[in-house]
Amino acid sequence: MFSFIKKKLGWGQDSTSTPAPSAPAAEAPAAVPTVAPSPVATSAAPSAVAAAPAPASATAPAPADAAPRRSWLDKLRAGLRKTGSSIAQVFTGTQIDDALYEELEEALLMADAGPSATEHLLQDLKRRVKEAKATDPAQVKGLLMDAITELLQPLEGSLQVGAQTPTVIMVAGVNGAGKTTTIGKLTRHLSDANQRVLLAAADTFRAAAREQLLVWADRNQVEIVSQEGGDPAAVTFDAVQAGKARHCDVVIADTAGRLATQLHLMDELRKVKRVIGKAMDSAPHEVLLVVDGNTGQNALSQVKAFDEALGLTGLIVTKLDGTAKGGVLAAIALWSRQRHAPVPVYFIGVGEKLEDLQTFQAREFAQALLS
């Protein structure tokens, strides 16, 4: 038996006393605190769903923007400091010589950049040093920041919703990567942007997983489709149908964690994707992979494997506040360059709070990596 839990959009309302009205799509949540710049771009025009730089928020006042963004940057910096200090230390000497490049190679490898991206960055840096006729290691550090920024830039992109109604987003990843938490945060951002969201609890594997998503749905006062011990594809199909019938703006499907090597589970994920397409032509519009930044080079293997199975449209890299060293973004960027189209990193996660989900910006990330 499917359970539909319909909530009126609105933050901080008593959910137990809230009846289950059909909330009109345009109904705005009352007094919802906003975190800006909004990580989600919404579009009413039926244009192509594409990664594009986030538009500046015209409504959010600048001081309100600055505080959360700064605290997020501080967290990212703190998280990457281990790496940052070791890369930054390479430039404390007085000479630009082979020893400097050797130390840098080691530091980049230690930062999880992997052999290919490390080699790419070293070659690019040497070219920049030559062109700039640099003589001071501090100058070389600035040039490395430019090289990292340029490599990471194609990964910038903002999630677009609104081109299709509903925009159907499927979320996948290995166990514990941060899928459900990220969906919760994302749902809140979408609700803040007056988007009507419906969640599909397609992680039917564990009762606890369903409950976890129910808690997020309750917090965000959004609708959820879940089924006890059911087939994930059936739950998702039903959610997309419900999303269409109720004129939802966005349907997000949470899936159970799995390793790419668990072939039957990867088949199950393919089936979920196929069935979404049966429920709505052109869907899913986004297939997102959530990767834990702490997993180092393994994150790149996950990206490759899930992309091969599902055809990814975007990435979310979580836990960059932990022991993550951040260099894996360079490895992903290099891989993405060689792919037919880049896979944007829509968000990075630097903690468990709502404001800890932020858009990815190449230069900020490069600065945090080297600060």
Positions touching ligand GTP (CB under 6 A) are: 173, 175-181, 203, 209, 257, 290, 318-319, 321-322, 349-352, 356
Site of interaction with Mg ion (CB under 5 A): 179-180
- Complex with ligand GTP: residue 156 or 203, whichever CB lies closer: 203
Burial annotation 154-176 (CB, 10 A radius, 16+ → b, else e): bbbbbbbbbbbbbbbbbbbbbee
Neighbour count for residue 24 (Cβ, 10 Å):
10
> C-beta of 231: minimal distance to ligand GTP in Å?
17
Nearest approach in angstroms of CB 320 to ligand GTP is 7
Nearest residue (beta carbon) to ligand GTP = 257
CB of 272 to Mg ion, least distance (A): 14
Instruction: Return the number of the residue (27 or 218) whose C-beta is nearest Mg ion.
Output: 218
Shorter beta-carbon distance to Mg ion: residue 212 or 367: 212
Q: Are 313 and 103 in contact (CB under 8 A)?
A: no
Which residues pair with residue 24 across a beta bridge? none
Rounded distance between C-alpha atoms, residue 55 and residue 43, angstroms: 11
> Which listed option, ligand GTP, Mg ion, none, makes contact with residue 352 (CB within 5 to 8 Å by class)?
ligand GTP
State residue 84 phi and psi, 5-degree precision.
-55, -45
Q: Minimum distance between the CB of residue 88 and ligand GTP, rounded to whole angstroms?
A: 24
Is residue 113 within 8 Å of 125, Cβ to Cβ? Answer: no
Closest C-alpha to 350, from 315, 314, 316, 318:
318
| Binding-site partner at residue 351 among ligand GTP, Mg ion, none, CB < 5 to 8 Å by type | ligand GTP
Nearer to Mg ion among residue 203 and residue 321 (C-beta)? 203
Give 131-186 as a DSSP string: HHT--SHHHHHHHHHHHHHHHHGGG--BEEESSSSSEEEEEE-STTSSHHHHHHHH
Nearest-approach distance from CB 87 to ligand GTP, in angstroms: 22
Cβ closest to ligand GTP, residue 115 vs residue 176: 176
Please answer whether residues 326 and 77 qualify as being in contact, where contact means their C-beta atoms are separated by less than 8 angstroms.
no
For the CB of residue 115, give the shortest distance to ligand GTP in the complex, in Å: 27
Task: Give the residue with the Cβ less far from ligand GTP, 177 or 251.
Answer: 177
